[in-house]
Amino acid sequence: MWGTLLTIIATALSLLIVDLVVPGVNLANFPAALIAGFAIGLINSSVKPVLSTLSLPLNFVSLGAFSLIVNGFCFWLAALLVPGFAVRGIIAFILGPVILSFASTFINNYFAARNPALSSSDVNTQGELPSS
């Protein structure tokens, strides 16, 4: 549970970075970023695998470049579902998920280094921290 919460917070912080860096990505406030982080997680775990499977022929022909389109579509879909989060323009559609991925990876690694007790390898199957 703590790992999931930290991932959502890391995604929200990463979205704020994307809002600053990428023109066309607009976030109203931090609560909108938290909801958008949750929505992106849900979309990436449910819709994205289906889209990735369906687009395998295009991905094969484009040598993997079509995955940028799939990522952009999932990013845009999350923006449609969350009030206060908007994606406008092709640059935001393509570059937003790329920057989000880099920022989120960096922040998640930072959290994991600072809190090794909360990493997924130290949490038992019930989601509780091990007793020391």
pLDDT digits (tens, 9 = 90+) for 45-66: 999 999 999 999 999 999 999 9
Name the DSSP letter for residue 86: E
**Residue ranges with strand state E in 6-94:** 25-27, 85-87
- What pLDDT does residue 3 have? 75
pLDDT digits (tens, 9 = 90+) for 69-114: 999 999 999 999 999 999 999 999 999 999 999 999 999 888 888 8
Rounded-to-integer distance, Cα 78 and Cα 42, Å: 9
Rounded-to-integer distance, Cα 110 and Cα 20, Å: 20
Task: Give the burial string for 46-61 (b: 16+ CB within 10 Å, else e).
Answer: eebeebeeebeeebee
- Mean pLDDT for the stretch of residues 31-48: 94
- What pLDDT does residue 114 have? 82
Rounded-to-integer distance, Cα 28 and Cα 36, Å: 11
Q: Taking Cα atoms as reference points, which of 20, 18, 16 lies closest to residue 29? A: 16
**Residues 40 and 75 sit within 8 Å (Cβ to Cβ):** yes
- Mean pLDDT for the stretch of residues 113-128: 59
